């Protein structure tokens, strides 16, 4: 599976996304509820009723009543706006979850590729040690004192075989971790393939920081929270305005249950704020504090994003330099040193310990190259996460 395929599996199968998206749908379902009219009330009144309120059959008067409460214009719209902002915040959090899990997916994916490279290096090491053993065998056939060198080569060969087993175990563990992350059974076989990589073009830091303003989920989340806080303040100020209650009444000429009659009544009630506006003042103070808190949170989130981008950018630059150093100098030098040591030893002009040291240095350098390549991919993935960039734009 390629990284793109793994990312698709992650988004479609990971249960954390299922849970988060259902929570978002719950918030979105509250928006039409907030905009809906208040529930009407229908009542029936029997009056007067002689002797006992339960003596309905002897009622001398009856009326039907319909009561409807109406909020002051704008209150329901503001309540819905708050929920819409909360839904936007939840959507940003879902994208933040995706960015975080995608970063972990990339980490394990590139670690698995590095381990596979390490396994190839271990097999190459076995082949080189077989060459050393053959040369040592020829030498001790002509010189019994060289038998110790053959035994040392055999010991190094056994150690390299043990490295193969340990690396294979690490590969299996990483495969299991990837399976769990994408919502599959841990024991399910998993084969990953390397995607063709486009040349790494590192954009200027200022440009990446500018991208993060519109992409990073924490920035978007804090913006939605600030929007919700401001709408909450507007709604708190609306509490000073009265709500309305309308009551329509129809009087019946045939109590207790008749409908005949042409007499009606209408009543309009104002639901006023509390005495001295105590609750309303406290509500506005609370909402003001919420706005200030949201503003501070937005500023803090942006500063943290800027710091994260700067750190990730610096780590990526360092990884690029380390890879260039390994590819241009250290790896060619180690390869040349091993070839010279092997030729010298085969021609009785070199030291056996020097040959083993050259072989070990070559192996270590090859491993360093594999893991530096992994570190480069990890640093690029960390920079993408710091910007808020997924496999595709949200």
pLDDT, tens only, 147-201? 777 788 888 888 888 989 999 999 999 999 999 998 888 888 888 887 766 667 7
Whether 359 maps to a domain, the answer reads yes
- Distances in Å between the Cα of 130 and the Cα atoms of 136, 191, 359 are 10, 29, 12
Whether 261 maps to a domain, the answer reads no
Alpha-carbon gap, residue 355 to 363, rounded angstroms: 12
Burial of 225 (0-12, 13-18, 19+ CB in 10 A): buried
Domain that holds residue 112: 3-38+72-195+203-236+297-387
Alpha-carbon gap, residue 353 to 100, rounded angstroms: 48
**Segment holding 70, helix H or strand E:** strand 62-70
Whether 59 maps to a domain, the answer reads no
- What pTM, to 2 d.p., does this model score? 0.82
Q: Is residue 132 classed as helix, strand or coil in its secondary structure?
A: helix
Pairing, β 243-252 against β 263-271: antiparallel
CATH assignment at residue 325: 1.20.1600.10
Can you read off the two tokens belonging to residue 289? 């504090």
In degrees to the nearest 10, what's the CA dihedral of 11, 103, 220, 198? -90
Kindly report, residue by residue over 325-341, the tens digit of the pLDDT: 888 888 899 999 988 88
Q: What is the pLDDT of residue 60?
A: 79
Q: What is the pLDDT of residue 393?
A: 42
Residues 345-354: what's their mean pLDDT?
A: 78
- Residue 363 · residue 338 · CB < 8 Å: no
Q: What is the DSSP letter of 277?
A: G
Q: What is the pLDDT of residue 198?
A: 64
Whether 188 maps to a domain, the answer reads yes
Query: Residue written as tokens 């395929």?
Result: 5
- Distances in Å between the Cα of 24 and the Cα atoms of 82, 239, 260, 272 are 14, 28, 51, 35
Give how far the C-alpha of residue 128 lies from the chain's centroid of Cα atoms, to the nearest Å.
45
Whether 366 maps to a domain, the answer reads yes
Q: Is residue 77 classed as helix, strand or coil in its secondary structure?
A: helix
What's the mean per-residue pLDDT of the chain?
A: 89
Query: Residue written as tokens 């020097």?
Result: 354
Residue 126 has pLDDT above 80, yes or no: yes
CB atoms within 10 A of CB 133: 18
Whether 105 maps to a domain, the answer reads yes
Residues 11-30: what's their mean pLDDT?
A: 91
Alpha-carbon gap, residue 12 to 15, rounded angstroms: 9
- Edge-first strand listing for the sheet containing 62-70: 41-46, 62-70, 243-252, 263-271
Residue 362 has pLDDT above 50, yes or no: yes
Whether 217 maps to a domain, the answer reads yes
- Distances in Å between the Cα of 370 and the Cα atoms of 194, 336, 365, 391 are 14, 19, 9, 24
Kindly report, residue by residue over 247-278, the tens digit of the pLDDT: 999 988 877 777 777 889 999 999 999 999 99
Alpha-carbon gap, residue 272 to 280, rounded angstroms: 11
Q: What is the pLDDT of residue 145?
A: 61
Q: What is the pLDDT of residue 157?
A: 84
Q: What is the pLDDT of residue 295?
A: 98
Q: 3-state SS string over 33-67?
A: HHHCCCCCEEEEEECCCCCCCCCHHHCCCEEEEEE
Q: What is the DSSP string of 140-204?
A: HHH-GGGHHHHHHHHHHHHHHHHHHHHHHHHHHHHHHHHHHHTTS-TTS-----PPPPPP-----
For the ranges 231-240, 359-368, 384-393, the one whose mean pLDDT is highest: 231-240
Q: How many residues does the chain have?
A: 394
- Residue 80 · residue 74 · CB < 8 Å: no
User: What's the domain count of the chain?
Assistant: 1
Sign of CA dihedral 320, 325, 328, 334: negative
Report the share of the chain in percent with pLDDT over 90. Answer: 57
- Residue 13 · residue 183 · CB < 8 Å: yes
Whether 31 maps to a domain, the answer reads yes
Q: What is the CA radius of gyration of the chain?
A: 38
């Amino acid at each position: 599976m390629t990284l793109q395929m793994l990312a698709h599996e992650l988004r479609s199968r990971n249960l954390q996304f299922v849970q988060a998206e259902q929570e978002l749908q719950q918030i979105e379902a509250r928006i039409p509820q907030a905009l809906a009219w208040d529930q009407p009330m229908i009542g029936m009144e029997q009056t007067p009723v002689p002797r006992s309120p339960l003596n309905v059959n002897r009622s001398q008067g009856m009326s039907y009543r319909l009561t409807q409460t109406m909020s002051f214009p704008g209150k329901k719209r503001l309540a819905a706006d708050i929920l819409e902002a909360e839904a936007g915040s939840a959507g940003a959090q879902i994208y933040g979850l995706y960015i975080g899990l995608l970063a972990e997916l990339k980490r394990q994916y590139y670690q698995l590729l590095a381990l596979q490279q390490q396994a190839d290096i271990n097999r190459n090491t076995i082949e080189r040690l077989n060459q050393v053993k053959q040369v040592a065998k020829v030498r001790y056939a002509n010189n019994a004192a060289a038998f110790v060198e053959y035994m040392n080569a055999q010991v190094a060969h056994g150690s390299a075989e043990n490295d193969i087993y340990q690396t294979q175990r690490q590969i299996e563990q990483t495969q299991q971790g990837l399976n769990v992350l994408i919502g599959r059974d841990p024991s399910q076989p998993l084969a990953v393939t390397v995607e063709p990589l486009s040349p790494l073009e590192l954009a200027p830091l200022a440009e990446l920081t500018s991208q993060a303003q519109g992409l990073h989920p924490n920035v978007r989340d804090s913006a939605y929270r600030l929007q919700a806080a401001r709408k909450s303040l507007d709604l708190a100020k609306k509490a000073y305005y009265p709500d309305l209650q309308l009551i329509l009444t129809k009087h019946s000429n045939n109590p207790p249950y008749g409908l005949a009659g042409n007499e009606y009544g209408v009543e309009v009630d104002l639901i006023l704020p509390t005495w001295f506006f105590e609750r309303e003042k406290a509500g506005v103070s609370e909402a003001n504090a919420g706005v200030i808190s949201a503003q501070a949170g937005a500023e803090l989130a942006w500063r943290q994003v800027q710091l994260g981008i700067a750190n990730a950018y610096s780590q990526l630059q360092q990884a690029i330099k380390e890879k260039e150093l390994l590819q241009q100098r250290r790896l060619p030098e180690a390869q040349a040193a091993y070839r010279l040591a092997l030729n010298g030893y085969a021609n009785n002009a070199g030291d056996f310990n020097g040959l083993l040291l050259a072989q070990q240095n070559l192996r270590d350098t090859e491993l360093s190259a594999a893991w530096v390549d992994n570190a480069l991919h990890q640093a690029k993935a960390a920079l993408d996460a710091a910007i808020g960039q997924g496999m595709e734009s949200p």
